[in-house]
Structure 1
C-alpha cells in the first residue's frame, strides 16, 4: 500500500485451468501491478489458505492523506531517553556537559537527538540515561549528571567490566496496586494496551466486571476478586513491554499470586488457564474475608520461627529476604503475636490469611474450580517458590495452585538460588516495586553486584517511568532494543517512521536450570 503496488500471488506459475478467467472482472496477479489512484479509497483483500485448514482473510484500505499529501507531524513525545557513555566517570560527566551545551546552542528536536544517540554512538563502559519530555528537563538532567549529582530523571550505572549476567523477571503478589496504575502506558504503549485487552478477553468468562474500568477504580481494587486478576493483567502486560523492548527473561520467579503471572510468561499456562486460576481462586478467597490478618516482620526467619512458639494460630506465610518475613493467621492471634515483638512490624492491607491453615477451608472448592487447568512444558526456566526448585511447568495443575495459596512462599531462597547460578538482573514487572527491597537484601548478603529494578511506581505509570527502568537495565549492561522505543506508536512518540530492530529472545532450556 505504501508503494502503490499490487504484488504478484506467490508460488503460482500459471492460473488454474479449472476457472474461466475470461469471464467476470477477476484476474490472478502473476506479476506486480501498479495500484493507481481512482478517486476512491483503494482497498485490497489478502487471503491465506493454509494446508492445515487455518484460513485468514483481511481487507485493507488506504488511509486519508495528511494535508498537502505529506506525512503528518506525529504525536508529541510523552518522554524521550538520551543515552550517554564514556570510558571513565570524569569523561562521562564531560560528555554530558558537551551534549547539554550543544543542544542549548540552537533549536533541537529531542526525539531525533535521542534516536541519534542510541544508533550512532557506542555504548562504553561508563553509562548514563536521562529521560525527559522536553528540552529543558533533558538539559537540566544533563547538567545534574555533569555535576555528579544525578536527579530523578537520571540513571547512572556501574563501570561494566564483564557480562551483566542472566535476567530474571519477578512477579509479586498483592501490594503493588494503585488506582490508575499504568493508565499512562495504556495511552502510550500499543503493546501494553493490546496485552491488557487480551487479558480482559481471557478473564471475561470468569468475571462480571470490566478490566480497564477496574484499573482506575479504587473501590473495585479493594475487592480481592478484582485486584488479583487486575494485577495479573498488569504484570503480564508489563512483561510483554519489556520483551518488546528487547529485554527477555532467562528465568521467571513469582511470589504468591505472582506465580500465576510467572507461569503464563514462562509458557506453562495458556492465557485462558492463567485467567481461570487467578479469577476463580480470588473469588474463592472472598469466603475467608474478615477472618484473618497478615503481618510483615523485619527479622530473620529463624528468629521469627522461635518467637512463634506458643502462637499456634499464626504461621510463617512468606520469607522475602534475610530480614523480611510475613506471618499470617486468625486476626486476634496475629495481633497478639505483634504485641510481643520489639522489631519493626507492619500490618498488610488484607483481611484474610493466605499461606496459613485458614486456606484449607477452600481446598475442595479450589480442586473443583481449577480441575480444567491443563499445564504444559515451560518455554522459559521457572523457579518455584512453592517447591524451592526449578520446575518444568507440567505439574502446575489445580493441586499446585492450591499449595501456592496454602504453603509458605520461599521467595528469599529462590533469590539466593538464582544469584548462585549467575543471575545479575532482577526485573520486577509490577505497577509498584514490592519485592525489590527483599531482593536487594539477598543481593547484599551474597556479596554480589546485581541490578534490582522495578518497572512502574505509584503515581508514575507512564512512558517516563518505563523509559527510566529501561535506562537502568541499559546502564547495567543489559541489552535494550532502543529502536523499538523510537518506532512510531511507542512510548518515545517518534515523529519519524523507523524500523525497529529484531532482538532475539535469550531463551533457556524449558523448566530446567538455565545455562
Structure 2
C-alpha cells in the first residue's frame, strides 16, 4: 500500500471536517451558485448540475462527503462519453479513469489523456496533448489553439507516427491464443503462458526483435545490440507476478542476450515448482525463429523467486530533493564518454537527467523519452528507464572497469517492486561490496517504488560479446 503524508491538519471527507463547519459557513456564506455554462457532472451529487446549487453549502458537502469519482465516470460512460481529458497541472487521475472505462466498456474504442504534466507545463506540452487527441480521431479546433497558423496548416497522417516513418506499418499484436490452450500475459515482451499440469510450473513465451521493439536498438555494447540486463530482470519479475512470487531473490545472468540485426528471437521464461525453502526457480531462454528445427535453446538467466515483498523503506526522496548535502555532478559529455568506453546508448537509453553525490551515495533523476512514455504503464519498470538508473552508478557507486572492459549486470539480489508503470524515477545508489551496488528507487514525487538489495557487476572484454549469447 503506497502512502505519503500530506501537509494538511485535518482529514478531508471524514468527520474531521465537521469541526470546520461553522468556520466554512462564515467564509463561504456569501458564495452563490449559478447554472454552469459548461456542462458539469457533480461528484458530490452524482448528477448533472442544472441550477444554482453550487453555493457555500455545496462546497462544504464537497469537502465532507465521499468523492464519488468512480461512480461519476461510470455514469458518463453509460451516457456514451468515450473521450476523457484531465485538465490539470499533472495528470494523476488518467489511470483511474482508464480503469473505469475499461471495466465498463471493455475493448470499445476510447481515449483518456491529460493536458499538462509535472515539470512539463508549457504550451508545447499542451499542444502535444491536443495532438494526442487528434491522432486518436478526436476533433480539435486548431484555429482556436494556434490561430496564427490558420491558412498554413498542412494535413498530416492521422496516426501516431514517430521518427521519419510516414507509412502505415502494422505492429505486432497478440493473437487470440486462448484457442491454442494458452493464457494471455499482456506484456510487451511476453505474449502467452501455459501451466504445466504435473509440475506446478509455468512457461511464458514471447518474441523480440529490433523491428518489433526498435528501442532495443539504442542499447549497444561494443557495436552489438544487447538486450539490457534490466530487460531480463523485467521478464523474471513479470513472470513472478503472474504466479504470485513477485520478489526476485536471486537472478544470475549466465550469458548476455544479443539481438540479431535482422532475425527474430523466441523467448521462453520458465517458472518451476517451489523448492524446500518455498522459492520458485526461474530461467530465461532464447533461440532464433529462423533456426532449423531441433536447434537448442540458450539459457541466459537463472534464479529464484520469492513471495510477498518486504515493506518499503523510508521515502528517501520525499521530504527533501535533492537530499541535504548532496553536490551536483556535471553531466555534459557523459554519454560521449560512455560511448568511448564501449557503451553506445541511443536516445531511448539516454534518460539520465541529473546527478548528485554525497559521500559514497549517488542520487539521480532519470526519465523515459517522450516517445516511450506511453509504454511505461505496460511494464513493471521499463528496462530503458531502469538502465538509465544503473548508468548513474558510474558516477561514484559502481566499481571501475579496466581499460578494454565494460561492466555488465551479473547477479540481481533481493529485488522488490512496490509499484509499476513509472515514467520517471529518483535514485539512490551506494556501493555495498567491491563489485556491487544497492539501489533505492522512487517515483517522480519521492515514493519508493522498488528496491535492489544488491546488483553485482561483472567486467567483460569489449571484444568478447560476439562469442557469447545468441550470435548476430
Q: TM-score, normalised by structure 2?
A: 0.30
Larger RCO (CA within 8 A; separation ≥ 6): 1
More strand by share: 2
More helix by share: 1
